[in-house]
Amino acid sequence: MTRFLLRRAGHAVFLLLGVSVLAFLFSTLAPGNYFDEMRLNPQISAEQLTALRAQYQVDRPMALRYAHWVSALAHGDLGFSFAYNTPVAPLLWARARNTLLLTGTATILVWMLALPLGVWSAEKLGKPADVALSWASAVLLVIPDLALALGLLILAVRSGWLPTGGMVSVGFDAFPTMEKVRDLGLHMVLPATVLVVSALPVLLRHVRAAVAEPLEAPFLRAAEGHGISRWRLLYRYALPAAAHPLIVLFGFSLGTLLSGSLVVEVVMSWPGLGPFLLEAILARDLYVVIGGVLLSTLFLVAGNFAADLLLYWADPRIRAGAVQR
C-alpha cells in the first residue's frame, strides 16, 4: 500500500511540475505584461515603473524567475498578485472553496442520477424505454454548456423563480443558519443544474454499457435461476461486477465537471476560480494565472488519486499486484 501511494504521489508531483513549466512558459511568452499598461498613466514615471519591475522580478530572465517561484512554492508561496498587491495563495483558496462546493455538489447529484438510470437502462436494453432514454441523452449531449447556461439564466430572469448571479443574497451574514443554507442552495441550483445536465448523458451511457455486460454473465443467469430478486441481482451482483470501469469513470468525471465549472462560473457569476482566472488573464496578472492553473490541475490529480484508492480497495487483483512488486 505504501509503495502504491508513493508511486502515485510521484506521478502527481511530476505532472504538477510539468504543468507549472508550461503555464509559466506560455504566460511569460504572451505579449505584454501587467506593467506595460502603466506606461500610459502620466502619474507613474519611468523610474517608478523600472523600480516596480525590479521589485516583482519581471526584469529577470524567465529561468531565474521560475527557479525562484519553485523555491517559494516549496514553502507554500504561489507568488504575489500584481493587481491585488497581496500574496496569491489566500486569493486562490478563497475562490477554490466555492469551486469545490459547486463541483462536489454537482458530482454527487450526477452520480445519484446516473447510477440508477444507467442500471435501469441496462436492464431494459433494446426495449422502447431504453431507446427513449438513449435518444434523450443524445439530445442533451449535443447541447453546448454555454447555450444551456444562457437558456437557464433567461428562464430564471423571466420567471423570477431562482436568483441569478452570485453565491449569496445581500445581507447573507445576518440570516439565521437555516436561511443561509436555503439561500446558498437556491443560488447553487442554476450552475449545478448546468453541470449535472451536461455530464449526465456521458455517465449514463458508460454506466449502461458497464452494467449490461455482467447482466449476460453465466453467474448472474444462474443466480436468477435460483429465484434471487431482480433488484438484488442488479445492485448486489451486476453493479459490483461493473465497479472497475465505473470507478475509473468517477475520476474522469471529476476532471470533466471541474473544467466545465470554470466556464459555468463565468456565465453564472459564481465567485469561483473561473471568473478570477479570467480577470487575471485579462489583467496579465502572471502569478495568479499560474497559481490558478496549478490549483485546477491539483484538483484533477486529487480526483484521479481518489479513484485510484477506490480501485485499490475494490479490486483484490490490484492489491495482490502491489504486494508482489
**pLDDT number for residue 261:** 82
Cα–Cα distance, 129 to 135 (Å, whole number): 10
Cell numbers 458508460: residue: 206
Cα–Cα distance, 189 to 182 (Å, whole number): 11
| Residues 69-108 pLDDT 10s | 788 777 777 878 877 878 888 888 888 888 888 888 898 8
Of 19-23, 41-45, 153-157, the one with minimum mean pLDDT is 41-45
Instruction: Spell out the residues 6+ positions from residue 238 whose beta carbon is closer than 8 angstroms to its own.
Output: 119, 122, 211, 214, 215, 220
Element (H, E) at 87: strand 86-87
Please state the pTM of the whole predicted model. Answer: 0.79
Question: What single letter denotes the amino acid at residue 287?
Answer: Y
Cα–Cα distance, 304 to 252 (Å, whole number): 7
Higher-confidence residue: 227 or 191? 191
Q: Are 291 and 96 in contact (CB under 8 A)?
A: no
The band of 324, judged by pLDDT with boundaries at 50, 70 and 90, is: very low
**Helix (H/G/I), strand (E/B), else coil: 271:** coil
Instruction: Spell out the residues 6+ positions from residue 162 whose beta carbon is closer than 8 angstroms to its own.
Output: 156, 186, 189, 190
Cα–Cα distance, 13 to 224 (Å, whole number): 48
Tell whether the model's pLDDT for residue 37 goes beyond 70.
no
Q: Which three cell numbers stand for residue 107?
A: 458530482
Cα–Cα distance, 68 to 51 (Å, whole number): 19
Tell whether the model's pLDDT for residue 322 goes beyond 60.
no
Mean pLDDT of the region 217-234: 72
The band of 230, judged by pLDDT with boundaries at 50, 70 and 90, is: confident
Q: Which three cell numbers stand for residue 309?
A: 484508492
Q: Are 118 and 207 in contact (CB under 8 A)?
A: yes
| Residues 106-160 pLDDT 10s | 988 998 998 888 888 888 877 888 888 888 888 888 888 788 888 888 888 888 7
Q: Are 34 and 284 in contact (CB under 8 A)?
A: yes
Query: Measuring CA to CA, which residue among 298, 291, 268, 263 is closest to residue 278?
Result: 263
**pLDDT number for residue 325:** 47
Q: Are 273 and 96 in contact (CB under 8 A)?
A: yes
Of 43-57, 134-148, 176-190, the one with minimum mean pLDDT is 43-57
**pLDDT number for residue 33:** 67
Cα–Cα distance, 158 to 304 (Å, whole number): 40
Query: Measuring CA to CA, which residue among 254, 287, 229 is closest to residue 83?
Result: 287
Average per-residue pLDDT in the chain?
Answer: 79
The DSSP result for 54-76, as a single string, is: HHTTTTS-HHHHHHHHHHHHTTT
Cell numbers 522580478: residue: 57
